[in-house]
Amino acid sequence: MTCASGRPIGETMNLFQFCYGLIHWLVILVNHLWYWLGNVLPGALGDFFTGIGDLAASHGNIAVFAILLEVIIFVIIAFINVLNFIWLDRKFMGRMFDFYGPYYVGYRIGGWLQNIADGMKLFVKEIITPAKADKAGFLLAPVIFVGSSFLALSTIPLGSNFGVETSAHDTGVPGGALIAFAFFAIAPFSILVAGWSSNNKYTLIGGMRSAAQMMSYEIPLLLTVASVFLLAGSFSFNGIIDAQKDIWFAIPLFLGFIVFLVCLMAEVEVQPFDLPEAEAELVEGWTTEYSGMRFGLFMMTSYLRGYIGGALATALFLGGWHGPTLIPEPIWFLIKAYTVFVVIEWTRWSLPRIRVDQILNLGWKRLMPLAVVNLLIAATFKTLGWF
Amino acid sequence: MWINMGPQHPMTHGLWNLRIKVDGETIVDAEPEMGYLHRGIEKLCENRTYTQIIPISDRLCYGSSLTWSHLYCLTVEDLMGLEVPERAEYIRVAAIEMQRIASHLMWLAAYAADLGTLVGFIYTMRDREVFIDLLQALSGSRLTYNFPRIGGVAHDVPPNFERDSLRACTYMEKKLDEYELLFEGSKVFMMRNEGVGLLKKELAMNLGVTGPPLRASGVKYDLRKDQPYSVYPEMDFQAISMPDGDCYARYKVRMDEMRESCKIIRQAVQKMPKGKWRVVAPRNGPVGTGIGRVEDPRGEGMMYVVGNGTPKPYRLKIRSPIFVTVSAAKQMLVGYKVADVVAIMGGLDMCIGEADR
């Protein structure tokens, strides 16, 4: 016996099935109205309303809305995580720097509401578009930046049954890891657009630096990810994480994990690699001309990218949601992602900024050979049949 | 493409403008522009009595105000032919060295923030407080002290000053080791500093560069040793110099100078004799000239005063080390990257208050 979404009753449901059930219930509730109208109205008009009811109750329609609901749930989770991350970053930074961090706004919960207060401040600030800026590009850049980051996020599952799935029998998005990295790598493009369209010399240099930086870190990053794909034999996050049930990939691929973390810091543009917005020499880099909530979106998304980075490192190297079963799977996943984020922030606040020619050297002369060696190690393990 | 780094720019630490011409990221030309913070202090001094100028000379440099008021007092004492009591000289030397450490720490903080280590900024500013507190106990204020007087100092030392100074020196020496771990232990910091902003020995001498940038270029020229004033001849310390002439050498010179300053403070507070700390200076300056040269934390500071027998000086000329040093900016910058601007100009320890006057 199965329920409406095709799930055998009694088995654990995944997020898609949950959303499907919810939407299905809503549709049936509303369909009472359509079918009643179809009954009472005569002729073609009645058939029309019956048709609407049939269309609404069709599998495809409910599935589309279920997927939308899933995405909304993931966006809400992401927003809460971003608020947590900003708070955690400020608190951690404060402790490192000998002060308390946010304290007064919501002091019973450790100053957590400070982020919301800052967000409100950014909301009421004026959004200024420079007179000689390229309006379309100036507007489009934050959209691409935020949108691509959220898209990358939506492919990362938080638990074996808690991800954006497209059918009842799916386990995660097929090829989800590939999609996540593809969307994750769009950001430098939007930075370039933002830097160019702002019509400002600092932003221009920042945008160009971002493009140059991407050249250096993207290839080693993807090579280490390829080694994970090789060991797991799967492109989807669920497959990769299931392959780490016995041993985390961070242990056999320790070298790759280090390379991945370094590249990740370059990808999310934190301190040693935050060349595009080097505030000492480029004022605020590519975000110089953005004000108000547009800047707030950039700021928020940079933390969101920190979260995505932590989640990717967790999923690919740290065994995802696997851990002692006492704690629910999504909590395990988030604990690991937060830990990776804190490590990134720790490095971020204690290292100086690297120079643009040095990051190219680092990427091509150090990280690239290491990534290739790591791929070789992974291939050796695979050939020996250990994985 | 010409880029204005200033007058409103995080790199400048003050109000000045550095125009750089870049080819991609490489600097091909540079042109420092001064004059945004000109307050006409030299002219202002012509309408003040000798005593009233002391707080004005404090305002010359926000980073190390005490050295400038001390320099002014030295110059006027030279003009008036005053003999300063020995206790006052020891108090002055201790205070100046505290000011030197505070100034160098402020430089280190700004330098760390320029290079991107915010933790370095916070730690150094925190430890600067130790010396600011000592100077506050000594003089009553935290930034512009108005402490030296013509013919001595304003007050005697506060109670327990010797104990607190010795403690502060011990604390500072411990913290300096920590800073070296934090900065030199970091590969990225060394990558940003070594071989950056090379200033050759001959070039540095020809351009009139003084202070830590000159000593970092391999010239062992320290006025405290080469033309001793006050009671520096009785102190046992080293003039620091490094042969390399790059940003790392400038950093290292300042770090070692802080250690030497700790040594000087120790000796000064321990050797401090009993006695008067001030003699009464005449109200009217004589007809004649006075000159004073000191080793400011930023280089050689010099003042030249012309008296005409009235309570006000006829002319006061100030030689600022940074105004001269910044003229070497082009020679240091050309050929390096845009990101090196902050390392090179930050390594000079810019203080616009004294450069523009």
The reported pLDDT for the residue numbered A352 is: 86
The reported pLDDT for the residue numbered A7 is: 62
Rounded to 10°, the helix A201-232/A187-197 angle is 170
How far apart (Å, rounded) are the C-alpha atoms in residues B10 and A61? Answer: 55
Please report which helix (H) or strand (E) contains residue B250, including its range: helix B247-271
Q: Nearest by CB to B337, from A202, A274, A356: name it.
A: A356
Interface test with B, best of A215, A277, A355, A357 (most B CBs within 10 A): A355
pLDDT tens string B237-294 = 888 888 888 889 989 899 999 998 998 998 888 888 888 888 888 888 888 898 988 8
Q: Does B191 touch chain A (CB under 8 A)?
A: yes
Cβ atoms of residues B340 and B355 within 8 Å: no
Using only the alpha carbons of chain A, give its radius of gyration: 24
User: How many residues does the structure list for chain A?
Assistant: 387
Q: Nearest by CB to B3, from A201, A349, A351: name it.
A: A201
Cβ atoms of residues B196 and B317 within 8 Å: no
How far apart (Å, rounded) are the C-alpha atoms in residues A288 and A196? Answer: 12
H helix runs in A155-271, sequence order: 176-184, 187-197, 201-232, 237-243, 254-267
Q: In the predicted model, what is the mean pLDDT of residues B94-110?
A: 90
Cβ within 8 Å of residue B97, ≥6 positions away: B261, B262, B264, B265, B268
The reported pLDDT for the residue numbered A172 is: 64
Q: Nearest by CB to B116, from A97, A201, A353: name it.
A: A353
Interface test with B, best of A210, A213, A281, A357 (most B CBs within 10 A): A281
From the CB of residue A54, how many other CB atoms can be counted at a distance below 10 Å?
14
SS3 state of residue B147: coil
The reported pLDDT for the residue numbered B211 is: 86
Rounded to 10°, the helix A292-317/A59-96 angle is 100
Query: Average pLDDT by consecutive 10-residue portion of chain A (387 residues)?
Result: 63 75 85 83 82 81 83 85 88 86 84 87 87 86 88 81 69 77 87 87 86 86 89 84 83 88 86 79 81 86 87 86 80 88 87 85 88 89 80
Cβ within 8 Å of residue A182, ≥6 positions away: none
How far apart (Å, rounded) are the C-alpha atoms in residues A39 and A37? Answer: 5
Residues of B in contact with A363 (CB under 8 A): none
- Give how far B52 is from chain A: nearest CA, Å: 38
Cβ atoms of residues A172 and A236 within 8 Å: yes
Q: What are phi and psi of B3, to 5 degrees?
A: -120, 135
Which of 23-52 (B) contact A at CB < 8 A?
Answer: 25
The beta strands (E) that lie in chain B are given as 2-5, 17-23, 26-33, 148-149, 152-153, 287-296, 299-308, 313-319
Tokens, residue A262:
């370094």
Q: Nearest by CB to A281, from B11, B112, B119: name it.
A: B11
Nearest residue in A to B122, CA atom: A97
From the CB of residue A76, how many other CB atoms can be counted at a distance below 10 Å?
10
The reported pLDDT for the residue numbered A4 is: 62
- A320 CA to centre of own chain: 15
The reported pLDDT for the residue numbered A169 is: 64
State the count of interchain CB pairs (< 8 A) between A and B.
82
How far apart (Å, rounded) are the C-alpha atoms in residues A63 and A235? Answer: 23
Q: Does B125 touch chain A (CB under 8 A)?
A: no
The reported pLDDT for the residue numbered B338 is: 85
pLDDT tens string B8-58 = 887 777 788 888 888 888 888 888 888 888 888 888 888 888 888 888 888
Q: Does B10 touch chain A (CB under 8 A)?
A: yes
Amino acid at A13: M
The reported pLDDT for the residue numbered A80 is: 87
How far apart (Å, rounded) are the C-alpha atoms in residues A378 and A253? Answer: 7
How far apart (Å, rounded) are the C-alpha atoms in residues B292 and B223? Answer: 11
Tokens, residue B172:
């500072």
Map out the domains of chain B with their CATH numbers.
Answer: 2-356 (1.10.645.10)
Is it the case that residue B160 has pLDDT exceeding 80? yes
What does the mean pLDDT of chain B come to? 87
Question: CB-hemisphere CA count at 13 Å for B30?
Answer: 25
The reported pLDDT for the residue numbered A1 is: 58
Whether residue A349 and residue B341 make contact (CB cut-off 8 A), yes or no, is no
Q: Nearest by CB to A352, from B3, B10, B117: name it.
A: B117
Whether residue B119 and residue A355 make contact (CB cut-off 8 A), yes or no, is no
Is it the case that residue B115 has pLDDT exceeding 80? yes
ipTM: 0.78
